[in-house]
């Protein structure tokens, strides 16, 4: 101890300080004990008496209170530890379920954006105000500007000005229908887009719509069809040129047939007729004095000349019937039908009602050749016993129909019979091209065992000569 300090005074000060600390601790412990006792009495339905505060000075009683307080405090601490542990365990169990869900949503979104970016089709998504929110790399290539420049701008920026109002109206109508997707435009109408440099180009597009938390989104998938249209136009132009060439060849062929037929009929026919006359005169001059062998030879020569004349007439008629130029289309068709019946034994019912219609030379030749080729196909393929031939003029249209009761056939999607492919025949193809020369339409009606019918329809103006058409 330091000098100047009274030991008794120090002990008294310590005792006072301990009493000051002990009394509040005892009071707190008594209050806690009373509270638990009251709770226990209340739970059991009884009453309790608080401990006598006068016993607070007993050492034994103080020790008991301190032990009880320690036990209660330890229980509270243990309960708090278990509560904290349970909370953390529950949180740990809940967290793995939410984190993968959020990660899966982000993964799906990233996958979807990857698909959109890698698409070969231009994809543009706009909101309800038709402002662009998605602009993939294919759209950048088609329209010639980056996505950063396009996003946020109106869709009308990529539509030619003359189509903008109609396009906005159509999109609004599409949104009101509730249809999820459809093609844009019509088959007969080509849509047009506008590049960043002001160049217009043809497109083919489809539109779809979805609704999310921000409202409706419209997605347009489009492709530049410039090259396809160029190829289609080139093919169409080539086809038209081939048809013009075919028509020209048909006209040249018809003119050549006419020339040969006239030469056969006029020159060779006249020479054979003169030879026949001279031979008849020689036979008449020899009379009965001629040697029997010579007379037989003269008779044989006369028969040979007659058969040659008939052959020349038949060949000339096949090339170009003289009556087609002299008498017109209807008598020529009547002669052709009668000759067909005599050659093949197939009856032909004729219904020819043209009134006072006068056909041009080109139209008469074309219709005659169509009938001739159709009857030839019947003789070769149909195995028919009857043909119904109809030529009628009604109003401003002319209809030609040739139908048989033969075996019929299947038809392919192009409306051309399979027998045409199998037999390497160009008969029906030639008939179609002849009809096309006069802007006619061709319809074929056939089925196995139900015969074959081919019908042509022409505008009457295309069949008449210029002076009669006027």
Q: What residue ranges do the domains of the chain occupy?
A: 9-89, 119-224, 233-320, 327-470
Q: Return the biggest CA–CA distance within the chain.
A: 203
Q: Indicate the pLDDT class of residue 414, thresholds 50, 70 and 90.
A: very low
Q: Indicate the pLDDT class of residue 43, thresholds 50, 70 and 90.
A: very low
Q: What is the mean pLDDT of residues 407-431?
A: 60
Comparison of pLDDT for 26 and 125, the residue scoring more: 125
Q: What is the mean pLDDT of residues 195-218?
A: 87
Three-class SS of residue 392?
Answer: strand
C-alpha count within 13 angstroms, C-beta hemisphere, residue 383: 6
Q: Does domain 119-224 have CATH number 3.30.450.20?
A: yes
Q: What is the mean pLDDT of residues 48-54?
A: 47
pLDDT at 21: 43
| Residue entry with tokens 């999109």 | 171
C-alpha count within 13 angstroms, C-beta hemisphere, residue 264: 21
Residue 321 and residue 335 in contact, taking contact as beta carbons nearer than 8 Å: yes
Express each pLDDT in 98-119 by its tens digit.
Answer: 445 566 667 777 787 788 888 8
Residue 134 and residue 116 in contact, taking contact as beta carbons nearer than 8 Å: yes
Comparison of pLDDT for 143 and 85, the residue scoring more: 143
pLDDT at 319: 84
pLDDT at 48 over 50: no
pLDDT at 86: 67
Comparison of pLDDT for 470 and 182, the residue scoring more: 182
pLDDT at 39 over 50: no
Pick from 140-154, 179-193, 305-319, 406-420: least confident: 406-420
Strands (E), 309-433: 347-353, 386-394, 397-404
Rounded to the nearest integer, the mean pLDDT of the chain is: 78
| Residue entry with tokens 């169409």 | 236
Q: What is the mean pLDDT of residues 210-223?
A: 86
pLDDT at 135: 93
pLDDT at 178: 64
Number of H helices, E strands in the chain: 15, 11
Nearest to 375 by CA among 435, 334, 421, 415: 334
Percent of the chain with pLDDT over 70: 72
Q: What is the mean pLDDT of residues 199-217?
A: 86
pLDDT at 182: 64
Q: Indicate the pLDDT class of residue 42, thresholds 50, 70 and 90.
A: very low
Give dist(CA 368, CA 330) in Å, integer: 9
Comparison of pLDDT for 18 and 146, the residue scoring more: 146
Three-class SS of residue 444?
Answer: strand
pLDDT at 181: 56
Comparison of pLDDT for 89 and 166, the residue scoring more: 166
Chain centroid to CA 85: 64
Express each pLDDT in 1-35 by its tens digit.
Answer: 444 445 455 445 445 444 544 455 445 555 555 54
Maximum mean pLDDT: which of 15-19, 378-382, 463-467: 378-382
Q: Indicate the pLDDT class of residue 95, thresholds 50, 70 and 90.
A: low
Q: Class assignment of domain 327-470?
A: alpha beta
Give dist(CA 269, CA 203) in Å, integer: 66
Give the phi and the psi of residue 314 in degrees, each rounded to 5: -65, -45
pLDDT at 94: 55
Q: Indicate the pLDDT class of residue 40, thresholds 50, 70 and 90.
A: very low
Comparison of pLDDT for 226 and 109, the residue scoring more: 226
Q: DSSP alpha helices (H): ranges in 348-453? A: 361-377, 418-422, 427-437
Comparison of pLDDT for 187 and 223, the residue scoring more: 223
Express each pLDDT in 384-412 by its tens digit.
Answer: 999 999 999 988 999 999 999 998 887 64
Maximum mean pLDDT: which of 110-119, 241-250, 342-351: 342-351
Q: What is the mean pLDDT of residues 239-254?
A: 85
């Amino acid at each position: 101890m330091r000098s100047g300090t009274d030991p008794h005074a120090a002990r008294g000060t310590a005792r006072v300080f301990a009493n000051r600390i002990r009394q509040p601790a005892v009071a707190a412990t008594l209050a806690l004990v009373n509270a638990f006792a009251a709770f226990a009495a209340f739970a059991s339905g009884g009453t309790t008496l608080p401990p006598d505060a006068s016993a607070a000075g007993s050492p034994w009683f103080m020790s008991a209170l301190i032990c009880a307080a320690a036990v209660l405090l330890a229980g509270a601490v243990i309960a708090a530890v278990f509560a904290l542990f349970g909370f953390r365990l529950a949180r740990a169990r809940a967290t793995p379920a939410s984190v993968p869900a959020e990660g899966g949503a982000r993964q799906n979104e990233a996958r979807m954006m990857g698909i959109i970016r890698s698409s070969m089709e231009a994809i543009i998504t706009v909101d309800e105000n038709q402002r662009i929110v998605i602009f993939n790399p294919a759209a950048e290539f088609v329209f010639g500007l980056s996505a950063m420049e396009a996003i946020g701008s109106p869709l009308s920026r990529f539509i030619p000005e003359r189509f903008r109002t109609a396009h906005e109206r159509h999109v609004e109508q599409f949104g009101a229908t509730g249809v999820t997707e459809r093609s844009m435009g019509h088959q007969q109408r080509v849509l047009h887009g506008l590049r960043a440099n002001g160049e217009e180009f043809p497109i083919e597009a489809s539109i779809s719509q979805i609704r999310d938390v921000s409202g409706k989104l419209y997605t347009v998938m489009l492709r530049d069809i410039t090259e396809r249209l160029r190829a289609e136009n080139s093919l169409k132009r080539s086809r038209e040129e081939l048809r013009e060439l075919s028509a020209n060849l048909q006209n040249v062929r018809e003119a050549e047939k006419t020339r040969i037929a006239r030469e056969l009929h006029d020159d060779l026919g006249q020479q054979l007729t003169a030879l026949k006359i001279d031979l008849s005169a020689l036979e008449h001059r020899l009379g009965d004095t001629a040697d029997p062998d010579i007379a037989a030879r003269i008779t044989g020569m006369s028969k040979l000349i007659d058969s040659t004349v008939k052959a020349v007439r038949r060949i000339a008629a096949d090339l170009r019937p003289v009556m087609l130029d002299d008498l017109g289309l209807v008598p020529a068709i009547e002669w052709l039908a009668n000759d067909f019946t005599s050659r093949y034994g197939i009856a032909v019912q004729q219904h020819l009602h043209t009134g006072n219609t006068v056909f041009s030379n080109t139209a008469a030749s074309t219709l005659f050749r169509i009938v001739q080729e159709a009857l030839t196909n019947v003789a070769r393929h149909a195995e028919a016993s009857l043909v119904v031939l109809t030529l009628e003029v009604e109003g401003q249209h002319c209809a030609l129909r040739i139908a048989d009761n033969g075996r019929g056939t299947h038809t392919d999607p192009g409306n051309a019979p399979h027998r045409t492919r199998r037999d390497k025949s160009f008969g029906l193809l030639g008939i179609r091209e002849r009809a096309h020369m006069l802007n006619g339409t061709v319809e074929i009606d056939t089925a196995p065992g139900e015969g074959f019918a081919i019908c042509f329809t022409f505008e009457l103006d295309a069949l008449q000569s210029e002076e009669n058409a006027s």
